[in-house]
Amino acid sequence: MGSNTYGKVFSVTSFGESHGRCVGVVVDGCPAGLRLDSEDFRETMSRRIPPDPELRSSRVEPDEVELLSGVFEGRTTGAPICALVWNKDVDSQPYEEFRFKPRPGHADYTAWRRYGGYNDYRGGGRFSGRVTLSHLIAGVIALKLLERVGVEVVAYTAEIGGIKAGEMPLEEIKSKVRLSPVSCPDPKASKLMEEYVKKVRSMGDSLGGVVKAVALNVPAGLGEPIFESLESKISSIMYSIPGVKGVEFGAGFLSARMKGSENNDPFTVEKGRIVNLTNNSGGILGGISTGMPIEVSVAFKPPSSIRVKQRTVNLLKMEDASVVVKGRHDPCIVPKAVPVVESSLAIALCDILMEAGLIPRVLDG
């Protein structure tokens, strides 16, 4: 299968560029009978645009999702669903400079090497964060399918620029995450993150952070050891998101510093079900779900496009040069990335549940 496709049974093929005509996706393998129309995508699309203009790029588009196939009389048909968003608010002028003077930290250089200079460099082309509209569109469908089997996914900003959200119960996270302009459910941390992003933005610089996603009610016994471990499948899609440089499950890198006696999650019987007293494993043992919440943390580097003068090269002259990145860029991608991480986890779980036969191929009602 091509390199722009993810998934074995619930299969997602991404296409489109930042400043091309559109960004879209083909979702193949969706059961027939699921209610679906353009409205279903509206809220998720709006999550990409924080209301405060100081927290985001000035590129703002309505991003309405058009369904081109696979839906009939308000329901999915079982045929592949092609859905896309037309690009509207495009200003490609600032990108001329980076065509031959690659931005440090950006894919300008590697794209040029990979595609011999034929890539659509405008707005970062295929390497823009905007390409994750594919993930969001497919994610809306995946989340609707998961809802049918009681699985819930929630993501939030766990860290920006070193400022960490405090621990809190999942119910509280769910109720507060949408209230924060940076998608951080801890109000105090949210405020600090917000101020820090604005400050760093005013300096022309950028910040990274960590998004955490949790999936609830995933049945125990899903996944495989070795090459299709839950971690393999989930990390693989997380690393499809531009800017991701780290993925960990449960205690993750911290567990590398624990003793076995600290890290092992004891089992107990609770209301007739086997549960763990702690969840350092992130809900996965041996690549297979335990039935506890699946927890994944995703590290985003700071956006590479900054208004600070940086050393680079001139690709045509093969000599040193410098660049100051103008144009419309996010000072911190993390808040926008929250629904993308959520969608990605949903897509991965949907594929796994479908392969296990746990989502029926025809949905009634």
Q: For residue 244, what are its two tokens?
A: 């991701």
Provide Rg for the chain, Cα atoms: 21
Considering the rule CB under 8 A, would residue 306 count as an interface residue with its own copies? yes
Which helix (H) or strand (E) is 156 found in, with range?
strand 152-160
Handedness of CA 141, 298, 16, 26 (dihedral sign): negative
Considering the rule CB under 8 A, would residue 61 count as an interface residue with its own copies? no
Considering the rule CB under 8 A, would residue 193 count as an interface residue with its own copies? no
Please, are residues 202 and 306 in contact by the beta-carbon 8 Å criterion? no
Span of 141-149, 169-177, 183-191, 221-229 interacting with its own copies by CB under 8 A: 221-229
Among residues 49, 111, 337, 338, the one that binds its own copies under rule CB under 8 A: 111
Q: Would you call 96 helix, strand, or coil by DSSP?
A: helix
- In the complex, minimum distance from the CB of residue 87 to its own copies, in angstroms, rounded to a whole number: 10
Please, are residues 75 and 36 in contact by the beta-carbon 8 Å criterion? yes
Considering the rule CB under 8 A, would residue 18 count as an interface residue with its own copies? no
- In DSSP terms, which residues pair with 294 in a beta bridge? 215
Considering the rule CB under 8 A, would residue 261 count as an interface residue with its own copies? yes
- In the complex, minimum distance from the CB of residue 227 to its own copies, in angstroms, rounded to a whole number: 4
Considering the rule CB under 8 A, would residue 224 count as an interface residue with its own copies? yes
Helix 39-46 to helix 133-148 angle (10° resolution) is 120
Residue 83: left (phi > 0), alpha (psi -120 to 50), or beta?
Answer: beta
Considering the rule CB under 8 A, would residue 6 count as an interface residue with its own copies? yes
Considering the rule CB under 8 A, would residue 168 count as an interface residue with its own copies? no
Span of 40-48, 142-150, 168-176, 269-277 interacting with its own copies by CB under 8 A: 269-277
Q: For residue 229, what are its two tokens?
A: 């471990």
Among residues 235, 293, 327, 348, the one that binds its own copies under rule CB under 8 A: 235
What backbone phi and psi angles, to 5 degrees, belong to 135? -65, -40
Considering the rule CB under 8 A, would residue 301 count as an interface residue with its own copies? yes
Give the residue with the Cβ less far from its own copies, 51 or 256: 256
Give the residue with the Cβ less far from its own copies, 223 or 327: 223
Considering the rule CB under 8 A, would residue 197 count as an interface residue with its own copies? no
